Structure 1
């Protein structure tokens, strides 16, 4: 099993006005995920933009040779479900967690599913 990466958009505003200098909702989500602790086989990485600005706070899961996913409309209350979904994703060989085994936020708030990259010939 190759390690998975949970990317968290730290620039997401989640449709909220953010005063100058105040942490954005995406940054708060990233901090909450780090505070809760990454599951085994998962690293949590901050990124500046996942280009899903109309979808609130967003995260992405990926690992070499596996399907990747982008999830949106996430909030601080979703931290346990995000980490559980990341744990289940990391435990797969191909990135595909059976539908009924995915947390509800991953079933209902998926923005994109991206096929694995093909090795260069």
Structure 2
């Protein structure tokens, strides 16, 4: 199964971005693309993850698994983000054992979202 690493490309890290300068989120996205997605992970830039006060933010999700949002990241964290994404993609439920997560994922988690179930299961 393929996991998706969403990257907020418009994130400004809560700071104004001078005209003509690249937003920190776009720098993070570029760094992740340059490093290359690990097996089982696709990297997708998105316009906003609504985590503006805790940017730069990324999100990990895959069908039937827990999803996560992480913040306070930058291009300098690309290797750790990709390591965490690879470990996430290797799971069936999205739960990477605590000690196996990169430190930035242990300390900079914003949210954990339960798996979405088909509508008929959710109503039961």
Shorter-normalised TM range: over 0.9
Q: Determine the C-alpha separation between the residues in 2 that align with 1:105 and 1:86.
A: 12
Deviation of 1:74 (Å): 0.2
Please say which of residues 11-20 and 51-60 is displaced more in the overlay. 11-20
Greater Rg over alpha carbons, structure:
2
Residue 43 of structure 1 aligns to a residue whose secondary structure is strand
Aligned to 1:116: 115
Aligned to 2:12: 13
TM-score between the two structures when normalised by the length of structure 1: 0.97
Q: CA RMSD of the aligned region, Å?
A: 0.7
Deviation of 1:21 (Å): 2.7
1:87 aligns with 2:80: no
1:33 aligns with 2:32: yes
Q: How many residues align?
A: 120
Aligned to 2:66: 67
Unaligned runs of 5+ in 2: none
Deviation of 1:78 (Å): 0.7
Aligned to 1:43: 42
Please say which of residues 10-19 and 83-92 is displaced more in the overlay. 10-19
Which runs of structure 1 show a deviation greater than 2 angstroms over 4 or more consecutive aligned residues? none
Unaligned runs of 5+ in 1: none
Q: Determine the C-alpha separation between the residues in 2 that align with 1:38 and 1:16.
A: 28
